Amino acid sequence: MLFPSEVFIFLFLPIVVLVYYLLLRNKKLAKNVFLLIVSLLFYAYGEPVYVFLMMLVIIIHYFSGILLKKHSREDSKKKLIVFLTICIDILILGYFKYANFIVDNINTIFHANIPDLNVALPIGISFFTFQAISYVVDVYRDKEITQTNLLNIGLYISFFPQLIAGPIIRYKTIAKEINERKETWKDFSLGINRFIIGLGKKVLLANQFGVVADAVFNGVAPDGNTNTVLFLWLGAISYTLQIFFDFAGYSDMAIGLGRMFGFHFDENFNYPYISKSIGEFWRRWHISLQTWFRDYVYIPLGGSRVKSRSRLIFNIFVVWFLTGLWHGANWTFIVWGMMYFVLLVLERFCHIDQKLGKYNHLYVLFFVMIGWAFFRSESLSQALSYLAGMIGIGAQGFVDGGTIEYLQRYLIYYIIGILCCFPYLKRADKVLNKSLVYNLIYIGGMIAIFLVSIMFIFSNAYNPFIYFNF
């Protein structure tokens, strides 16, 4: 079920809110049971079969937590429990996400003829699997957070706001709020506000940039493309804006929905396109994923406190190979991850970001766009054909009438989108938010964003979610 859809906004969410706040008022246990049920129904709406897979993951990690608590003084048994649980997680994720990819590569490399498995990818499996892994590892590290209530573990893993596209929530972040949260009108109103902001980012900006990006990328084939140089650059810029407003918009909606029910999720984006180094970019982009890899992969490998440079490079390599692989079963994602591995190593040991001085911001944006070209392409050959066309190789001239038409039609979206990549509005809000006139204008603006977004939704316009694929 999509957040920006008639079913969610006008049926699912109003019913959930009314039942939660009117029928279940002051009934904490009933509220949690209700949220678990509606979360499972939310997932089953789009994945009726795979809801049982998620329930299996919940049960496995519940019993793993119990066993870890039971053997709290036996470190060898605790390690074995964690190891076996993570192996199960990896097998589940590996089968559903990478089985087709593995078979295709075996057939290509060894000229084998293994039949296609045609395994369907459950929506959000990468997100709820990573949350489950973080729970069992955190229980191993800190037995005080062990949850002996199956309901609470189920709600943590399946809670519908962040279930299918994050942010990745740590159990300890919301452990107390599961049973002791206090819903307030302030949180509810701020949650609505945040949801509307995310809705606007997704419907009014990301979807518009997506139309242009699709038009450009669909004109690129592995053996050439039918686009001009300027159109290819426009496509790269469009996808750079689309993926940010798509994913950041979803995160805003998830954070807002969580707050409406008394949960406070950590931020997932912090104006990443203002970054002046690749390292800074990844501290601002998809924050929950990067902190997950830092805490559960990079630091356990030794982090940056290792004795040799080669070991540190190896640690960075593992993190970015896995980051690329996490995003999808395609060599494009692995190359994308490896590009960032190389850039981060160069920044750490050669300080290229510092040597570029005032041009470091352009350096970041350039490589981010190059990376998104790999990210968006269906294959490595298509990505290379696209990048070659951006410098004139294989392109159909420099500019054509179609490019100018797209620029004219979507110019206002590009202006608004680029401005929203910088914290100008946030700074203005801090300065002006005590003004009555400003508050009235702000409320009017939120209502306008909501109404216009609804108009776009009812028009059955382009409305995918990029990160649903992961």
pLDDT for 306-362, tens place per residue? 989 999 999 999 999 999 999 999 999 999 999 999 999 999 999 999 999 889 999
Q: What pLDDT score does 223 carry?
A: 72
Confidence category of residue 250, pLDDT binned at 50, 70, 90:
very high
Lowest mean pLDDT among 74-83, 194-203, 313-322, 373-382: 74-83
DSSP-assigned beta bridge partners for residue 221: 224
Q: How many residues are there in the chain? A: 470
Q: What pLDDT score does 224 carry?
A: 73
- CA–CA separation, 66 vs 136, rounded Å? 10
Angle between helices 380-390 and 360-376 (to 10 degrees): 140
pTM: 0.94
Count Cβ atoms below 10 Å from residue 30 Cβ, excluding itself: 14
**What's the token pair of residue 401?**
């009438």
Q: What pLDDT score does 439 carry?
A: 82
Q: What pLDDT score does 225 carry?
A: 75
Confidence category of residue 462, pLDDT binned at 50, 70, 90:
low
Kindly state the DSSP code that residue 12 receives in the 8-state scheme.
Answer: I
- CA–CA separation, 162 vs 97, rounded Å? 20
**What's the token pair of residue 462?**
């382009």
pLDDT higher than threshold 90 for residue 174: no
Q: What pLDDT score does 434 carry?
A: 67
Kindly state the DSSP code that residue 3 receives in the 8-state scheme.
Answer: S
Angle between helices 331-350 and 309-327 (to 10 degrees): 150
Quick check: is 327 catalytic?
yes
Kindly state the average pLDDT of the residues 230-256.
Answer: 96
Angle between helices 171-180 and 125-141 (to 10 degrees): 90
Pairing status of strand 224-225 against strand 220-221: antiparallel
Top pLDDT among 298 and 470 is at: 298
pLDDT higher than threshold 70 for residue 469: no
pLDDT for 29-40, tens place per residue? 999 999 999 999
- CA–CA separation, 243 vs 47, rounded Å? 24
Kindly state the average pLDDT of the residues 107-122.
Answer: 88
- CA–CA separation, 445 vs 452, rounded Å? 10
Kindly state the average pLDDT of the residues 417-426.
Answer: 89
Q: Which residue among the candidates 71, 264, 327, 351 is catalytic per the annotation?
A: 327
CB distance 68 to 27 below 8 Å: no
Confidence category of residue 137, pLDDT binned at 50, 70, 90:
very high
Q: What pLDDT score does 426 carry?
A: 76
- Where do the H-state alpha helices sit in 21-72? 28-46, 51-70
**What's the token pair of residue 345?**
């190593």
Which residue type occupies 23? L
pLDDT higher than threshold 80 for residue 191: yes
Q: What pLDDT score does 143 carry?
A: 63
Q: What is the CA radius of gyration of the chain?
A: 23
pLDDT higher than threshold 80 for residue 9: yes
Q: What pLDDT score does 461 carry?
A: 64
Q: What pLDDT score does 260 carry?
A: 97
